[in-house]
Structure 1
Amino acid sequence: MIKNWFKNIGPGPLVAAAFIGPGTVTMCTLAGVKFGYALLWAMALSIIATIVLQEMASRLGVITQKGLAQTIRAEIKSPVIKGLAVFLILSAIVIGNTAYEAGNISGGVLGLEAIFGENTMQTGWFSFKLFSVLIGVLAFILLYIGNYKVIERVLVALVILMSLAFFITAILTKPNLFDVLQGVFMPTYPPNSIFTIIGLIGTTVVPYNLFLHASLVKEKWHDKSDLKYARKDTIVAVILGGLVSMSVIVSSAAIQTQDISSAVDLAKGLEPLFGTYSKYFLAIGLFAAGITSAITAPLAAAFVACGCLGWTSNMKSMRFRSIWMFILIFGIVSSSLGIKSIEIIKFAQVANGILLPVIAAFLIWVMNRTSVLGEYKNSLIQNVVAILILAITVFLGLKSILKVFEVF
């Protein structure tokens, strides 16, 4: 039974690996430090929303054998609207992932530095971090191989490593299970918690995962009868990813001080309370979170760009490789030299803030088209839940844009 389950593992763990990046770990750390277990319900809500949207993306990929970007090109008939959609998607996903890639690599570096200490090399006028180059080279080799099965197996192994690391860290803090369950099932709104709640949802329900998932399922499954495997894969992986995020919140809730701003601070704060091992487990988890996102972000951008521009999505094609190479190399250089591309990141946040509700709305629309999905289109219940989630994504999008312009 276990062997059969592993055989049918698909892109689900890759999607989980993509949304549990350093940003998610940091957001969950801050949520736990500031509000204890009180915001666990927000992560539970995020899990439900992510399962609904990712299930639709995977169903679209299995049934149509097309990526989401390809479907957008095919289904939007107006040249003007199609052009705007392609521009927005390329801006948010390709430019956005380029900006965030340095953060993904830096997150993995922080995990290694928490164990081995800082490792910087001075060359002439500038210094660079060796760990950034190491993580970048590992990601480069894996992506250049261009074999879906190899990438899947490596990322599944890293997700398992990350999950165990964060679960063990949470167990070491000996949480009160009643308080944890209360935090999950009884929503509360502590003072000044609204932005943290939005942040927890926003780091889990991410637009580029919808494109990544729809593209990857057709690499794994090719028949409508495989839909049941795709659905199970999605549900199990997203729940596992959500539990990992919850484990970070639980772990950070054990810290009594408010002087914590990142997962590295959390690792250092846990050490005197729960022993050296707690620091190591958390550092391993942060490293795995960083390197998995450093692999999936360029991969997603390459699928999106090829789909939008009508290029082949063959992972070994030169165009496909050139896109992820640019993003990865930019991330390695920015991370190793400590460059912060603030303006690019701000632009990406605005584009993502607009893109999430737009893509969610388009996904709901296309999932109701009989001409695209036939009998596999959305049911009434799926539509009701999806529209509720769409309302959340609109709120998240507005918040993201207004935050960039410092309206509130």
Structure 2
Amino acid sequence: MKKKKLKIRSWLRQLGPGLVTGAADDDPSGIATYSQAGAKFGYELGWTVVLTYPLMVAVQIISASLGRVTGRGLADNIRENFPAPVLYALVIMLLVANTINVAADVAAMGQSLQLVVGGPVHLYAVGFGVVCLALEIYLPYRRYVTYLKWLTLVLFAYVAVALAANVSWSAVLSGIVWPRVPLSSDMLTVIVAVFGTTISPYLFFWQAALEVEEVEANPKAHALKQSPSQAPSQLRRIDIDTYVGM
């Protein structure tokens, strides 16, 4: 029994950057996109999961591996290997996309709280933004990431809702295997939105940065290019972490 518990704990310790990044992908703006897709097309876009999941996992594993191998984030790696205009263009696009995404998320959080308790939605949104910013600045990484890992348990609420709701699982399977909705401009727009919110650029930078934070927070950890002996276990951990997290 003790050995089994130790194995479970050892397995859980492998979850970190990938789990947190995957949970972050289920943000309010993403949920709104998926909800609108479901409301308009039902289960007929279920087939997108077959494409988005492996693509998302592959890109995130590459991003995380770059961070762990080099000990630097994506922006730093781009700076080292590409001309400055490429770096500036990518960072500016990322900044714009992140700003819009964060604004949408914070606004959705404010509106959600307003639905529960009433009151001024703008004040709630500003409050959420200030709290998130303060936690990132003042809370040590190791403690902060521990809280984030535990908060991912909230996502099981989606599983509970799916089990409690009257879901036609045959229709779900049909939507994944054999969708019957003809392509239209509306469907193409929703498909682009689903892919865009699922495979988001900020996630690439985030997971790579989290891997760098893991190295800096652990005195025994080193960038894999400096300590190749750690590569097999760490790359395996990244694979497990990302597959589970996404």
Question: Is this a same-fold pair by TM over 0.5?
Answer: yes
Unaligned regions of 5+ residues in structure 2, if any? 1-6, 216-221, 223-229
Q: Give matches, 1:170-319, under 5 Å.
A: 170-192=162-184, 193-221=187-215, 222=222, 223-224=230-231, 225-238=233-246
CA-CA distance at 1:106 after TM superposition: 0.8
Note closer, same or farther for the CA distance 1:189–1:52 as it changes in structure 2 (3 Å cut): farther
CA-CA distance at 1:132 after TM superposition: 1.7
Q: Which residue of 2 aligns with 1:40?
A: 46
Q: Which residue of 2 aligns with 1:112?
A: 113
CA distance in structure 2 between the aligned counterparts of 1:150 and 1:32, rounded to whole angstroms = 37
CA contact (8 A) 1:13 1:237 kept: yes
Of residues 58, 61, 80, the one that matches 1:74 is 80
TM-score (norm 1): 0.52
Aligned identity (percent) is 28
CA distance in structure 2 between the aligned counterparts of 1:39 and 1:228, rounded to whole angstroms = 32
CA distance in structure 2 between the aligned counterparts of 1:172 and 1:10, rounded to whole angstroms = 29
Any runs of at least 4 consecutive aligned residues in structure 1 with deviations exceeding 4 A, and if so which? none
CA-CA distance at 1:188 after TM superposition: 4.4
CA contact (8 A) 2:14 2:240 kept: no
Of residues 128, 135, 149, the one that matches 2:128 is 135
CA distance in structure 2 between the aligned counterparts of 1:140 and 1:68, rounded to whole angstroms = 22
CA contact (8 A) 1:13 1:155 kept: no
- Whether 1:54 aligns to 2:72 is no
CA contact (8 A) 1:58 1:231 kept: no
CA RMSD of aligned residues (A): 1.9
- Worse-matched range after superposition: 47-56 or 64-73: 64-73
Q: Which residue of 1 aligns with 2:4?
A: none
Note closer, same or farther for the CA distance 1:44–1:150 as it changes in structure 2 (3 Å cut): farther
SS in 1 for 2:198: coil
Note closer, same or farther for the CA distance 1:33–1:170 as it changes in structure 2 (3 Å cut): same
TM-score (norm 2): 0.83
SS in 2 for 1:184: helix
SS in 2 for 1:194: helix
* Residue correspondences, number: 224
Q: Which residue of 1 aligns with 2:138?
A: 145
Q: Which residue of 1 aligns with 2:90?
A: 89
CA-CA distance at 1:87 after TM superposition: 1.7
CA distance in structure 2 between the aligned counterparts of 1:131 and 1:141, rounded to whole angstroms = 15
SS in 2 for 1:209: helix
CA contact (8 A) 1:57 1:68 kept: yes
CA contact (8 A) 1:40 1:183 kept: yes
- Per-residue CA deviation, residues 124-147 of structure 1 (Å, 9 max, x unaligned), is xxxx73322331232123102252
CA distance in structure 1 between the aligned counterparts of 2:98 and 2:55, rounded to whole angstroms = 22
SS in 1 for 2:167: coil
Note closer, same or farther for the CA distance 1:134–1:2 as it changes in structure 2 (3 Å cut): farther
CA-CA distance at 1:185 after TM superposition: 2.9
